[in-house]
Structure 1
């Protein structure tokens, strides 16, 4: 990292040098959970080895990764410390001013998503936003209401949710209530309507710079290759779901921006970002995008990673760490596109552009 006249050069990308702390808030599911589920009575946990094998402490933290996850890497790129899980007892005092991670593995846009996991009712999406409101009151008690509003308005926000509404709801085996209630096209429309309500509430709570990720190629993760794939191929139904959902999500985000009169919501095409290294892993230094580094069964795609699982010797050669989640190296590729990707990946702008625009204000 090189600092030049008020900007920082990181991996060849120029971003503004941050003079004052910028809070960072994270909402969503296991792709961005940094440990909230460690404090819940749930089976959706990543608190035992070999999770965290490449994390700086070499210990599991509740991140569904061999090392750093997407929020960690965004924090790294903007020159900030990783924000703490909201349920962490360490989130108090000055740490509160850095922001918080409200994400919880297993949840979705809908309240009934992830119902098979115990005790997630505390961190459903609407509850994450309730906690965000509670967080603001805690900060206001410390620094006053006006400064708290400014902190929230100037903060960066990341929200990653939606995949579980398909994998852990609509396509639950044998048949879910939602699949009996809706056709796939109707279900996608319903999800988009419900997601819009969540994003509107986030805006009403003061968020003004929000990165919204789409779903990845859900049918191509090792878990789906093992369970639903045919002849080693991706699940056609889940791929179809992603192809319907992601464009409608982008359209909804563009409509919200038009409604509020500014580019508050930034759409990150994480489906395309994932597909780059899934379709051509060798071009990105992977030997496989089909076999998880840690797991069991076909493609190491059955269940989660445990101390008894098969474990690859080199995590950097695998696009997937466990049956559902990218490896740290894959997360770095995703964050690189979030930071500096073209409009093919980031609409209406990438994060480096956001930071540059905000630095001029």
Structure 2
């Protein structure tokens, strides 16, 4: 499993970068196996940890870790970086991060190592079985388009134009990954960002409610990504399959029916004063993490990620289009 993404799936890359977007301190990781912070923006495991577990794969190591070489890269690598976006400039006010284009370059570094470890035909077969998971786009809105004081994009593009800009960049990088040998792609759509505590705290929506405007501007991106998946699957990229993960519907279901999933608190995070920010170092989080949908102002708890991963792995076409990850894993191209 090769993971491309942002803080939703970063597992420690930003620990090695000059960035203020870090989670290498308590209470992050409080519920992880080790009980310590690893650099994941969660109280425990992330979406890709759970998805990997369903696939029987160990969590891939972070690319930026100097020990991620040799046999360690054979089970996959995680390139995700907190604050990163599809656009290179997204999140730049946080300092260093691997944007999508840099993550693709980093994958090519891994690839050159793999070429020294196996023959050409074996490498092609290996890559055709690998699953690339891409979780990106949230920061292009939260840490770009919705920050007009720092980024001009909302003055230059209406929501549909901005979605098209993102999707054109995205498609180019997907084709680059296809051209070097990856064949199975899981592309996560955007969840309802207007419902994260950080956006609720802006006061742009009714008290205690999601910010509808934010959710609405995501529509063109999610619809466009679904259309892009259909276009990529229409025969122009033989021997490959692209899957769209409907994060918006899955997360929306959890937010609309929290009790069905065992959650009680949907409008604030478990740490960091609940709404504005990430966790504050050494400040104890809420007591019962299993009751919360959000861990901090931006990220879900591991309990939510477990639900989302299972829906991606085994869900119906309304969750994962045109097939789910379990079906994807069984396809053999070579």
Per the normalisation by structure 2, the TM-score is 0.95
2:94 pairs, out of 101, 104, 117, with 117
2:291 pairs, out of 313, 317, 322, with 317
1:134/1:41 CA distance change after superposition, 3 Å: same
2:101 pairs, out of 119, 122, 126, with 126
Partners of 1:116 and 1:218 in 2: how far apart? 20
Partners of 1:285 and 1:234 in 2: how far apart? 20
2:74 pairs, out of 97, 122, 132, with 97
Partner of 1:197 in structure 2? 172
Contact kept, 8 Å, 2:197 with 2:298, in 1: the verdict is yes
Higher relative contact order (CA 8 A, sep 6+): 2
Alignment pair present for 1:151 and 2:117: no
Residue 96 of structure 1 and its aligned partner are, at CA, apart by 1.6
2:190 pairs, out of 201, 215, 231, with 215
Question: Deviations for 1:200-249, whole angstroms, at most 9, x for unmatched residues?
Answer: 11111211111000000000001111114332211122111122211111
Partner of 1:161 in structure 2? 136
Contact kept, 8 Å, 1:106 with 1:117, in 2: the verdict is yes
2:55 pairs, out of 59, 72, 78, with 78
Give the count of matched residue pairs: 332
Partner of 2:207 in structure 1? 231
Partner of 1:268 in structure 2? 245
Partners of 1:106 and 1:146 in 2: how far apart? 37
3-state DSSP of counterpart to 2:56: coil
Residue 338 of structure 1 and its aligned partner are, at CA, apart by 0.6
Contact kept, 8 Å, 1:157 with 1:207, in 2: the verdict is yes
Partners of 2:330 and 2:13 in 1: how far apart? 32
1:310/1:222 CA distance change after superposition, 3 Å: farther
Partners of 1:210 and 1:277 in 2: how far apart? 25
1:63 pairs, out of 37, 40, 43, with 40
Partner of 2:280 in structure 1? 306
Alignment pair present for 1:249 and 2:215: no
Contact kept, 8 Å, 2:144 with 2:150, in 1: the verdict is no
Runs of 4+ in 1 over 6 A off after TM superposition: none
Alignment pair present for 1:183 and 2:127: no
Residue 263 of structure 1 and its aligned partner are, at CA, apart by 5.1
Contact kept, 8 Å, 1:295 with 1:304, in 2: the verdict is yes
Partner of 2:328 in structure 1? 354
Partners of 1:80 and 1:109 in 2: how far apart? 26
Residue 93 of structure 1 and its aligned partner are, at CA, apart by 2.3
Partner of 1:53 in structure 2? 30
Partners of 2:211 and 2:193 in 1: how far apart? 8
Partners of 2:192 and 2:43 in 1: how far apart? 20
Contact kept, 8 Å, 1:217 with 1:274, in 2: the verdict is yes
Structure 1: 5+ residue runs without aligned partners? 1-23
Contact kept, 8 Å, 1:44 with 1:117, in 2: the verdict is yes
Contact kept, 8 Å, 1:263 with 1:348, in 2: the verdict is no
Per the normalisation by structure 1, the TM-score is 0.88
Partners of 1:175 and 1:279 in 2: how far apart? 33
3-state DSSP of counterpart to 1:27: strand
Partners of 2:63 and 2:165 in 1: how far apart? 29
What is the root-mean-square deviation in Å for CA atoms of aligned residues? 1.6
